[in-house]
Amino acid sequence: MIYTVNGPIEKDKMGITLSHEHFKWETDSSYAHKLYFDRDYDDEKTNINFELLIPVLKDLYANSCRTIVETSPPIGGQNIKLLRKLSLESGVNIIPCTGWNLSKYTQRIHSNNFAKELAFQWIKDFQEGLDTIDGINIKPGYIKLLLDRGDFSTVDQEMVRAAVMASKETAMPIHCHILEAEMLYSVIDLLEEENLDLSKFLWAHASKEGDFDAINYGVDKGIWIGFDMIREGTYEKNFELISKAIKLGFEDKVLLSQDYDFYEQAVEHNNPQSCVSFFTKFIPYCYNYGMSENIIDKMITENPANFYDF
Ligand SMILES: [Zn+2]
C-alpha cells in the first residue's frame, strides 16, 4: 500500500508523482514540535496557508500531477491537517513521513539507547498513526532522514541505525538526504552491517554532485537514486544525468522531483508557476531533446510506486 494523508491507496492509484517536495518548511521549531508531538494545530495559520497553497496544488493537478511526497520531516513542521485539506480539495495524493524529529544534540544526553528509542518512536508513528483526522488514521509512508555535510557524525549514524530498525519492523522505506556523494560509501557500509534490504533505501539529492562513481556503486548495491532538484535553470544538467542513467541501464531505479518549497516559491518569491515547471518546462525540454516519453513516464509513475509501496 501507499500511505497518504487520506489513508492507504493501491500503488496503481498513485499516478504521476513528484517524489521530493516541501509544502512549507516550518522555521518556528516549537510550533513544529507541537504539531508532531501534541498534534496541536494553529487552525488560523493552517487556514491561511491552505488559501495560499491551494492554487499551486490545483495547478499541479491540472498539469497531471497526482501524488506528491512531502519531504519535510517532523522537525520541519509537517502539518498533517494542512496536507489533508490540500489533498482533499485538489485531488492530489500526499504522502507524509516520520523521521528526523528532534535536535540532533539530544543524542549527547541519551547516548546509551538513542537509536533504539528513536526507532521505537518511529515504529509507534506507523502503528498508531501520525494523527487521526475525520476518522482516518494517517500513517507515515516512509522515514525521512537528513544527514549533515562533513563527517558521518555519531548522531547521523545513530539516526540511520534507528531508521533501519524501524524499517525492518514496519517495512517503511527510508528516504535519506545526502548532499556529499563521498558520504554514501560509509552510509552503505552501515546499512550492510545492519542487514538492511538496500532496495528500501533512497539516496535523495544524488544529482547534487552527480558523482557517477558513487551513483553506480549505490545502484549496484540496490539503492534508489533521487534526481530530485530539477529546478528552473538546471535542465541541461538534469537531462544529462537522466540520459546517463538510461545509458547505464538503471532508469528503473531513478526518482525525479524538483525539491521546491511551495510556500517559499509561491508566496515569498511570488513565483507559483515555478512549482509546476517540472511539467510545463522540464518534460517538454526532455521531449524536445529526444528523450523517450515512455522512460520519463516510467520514472514518474512506476518507479515511485515501486519504491513507496509496502
Ligand atoms: Zn528537500
User: pLDDT of 189-233, one tens digit each?
Assistant: 999 999 999 999 999 999 999 999 999 999 999 999 999 999 999
Q: Note the pLDDT of residue 102.
A: 87
Q: Which residues face 256 on adjacent strands? A: 227
- Whose cell is 487556514? That residue is 47
Give the CATH number, domain containing residue 210: 3.20.20.140
Distance 112 CA to ligand 1 centre (A): 30
Distance 195 CA to ligand 1 centre (A): 27
Distance 21 CA to ligand 1 centre (A): 6
- DSSP codes, 274-304: GGGHIIIIIHHHHHHTT--HHHHHHHHTHHH
Per the structure, how many domains does the chain have?
1
198: three-class secondary structure by DSSP:
helix
How far is residue 116's CA from residue 194's CA, in Å, rounded to a whole number? 13
Residues 6+ apart with CB under 8 A from 210: 237, 241
Tens digit of each residue's pLDDT (9 = 90 or more) over 232-244: 999 999 999 999 9
**H/E stretch holding 170:** helix 154-170
Q: Note the pLDDT of residue 182.
A: 97
Q: What angle is formed at CA 292 by the lines to CA 301 and CA 19, rounded to 5 degrees?
A: 25
Distance 22 CA to ligand 1 centre (A): 6
Distance 108 CA to ligand 1 centre (A): 26
Range of the domain at 47: 2-308
Low-confidence ranges of the chain (pLDDT < 70): none
Distance 71 CA to ligand 1 centre (A): 6
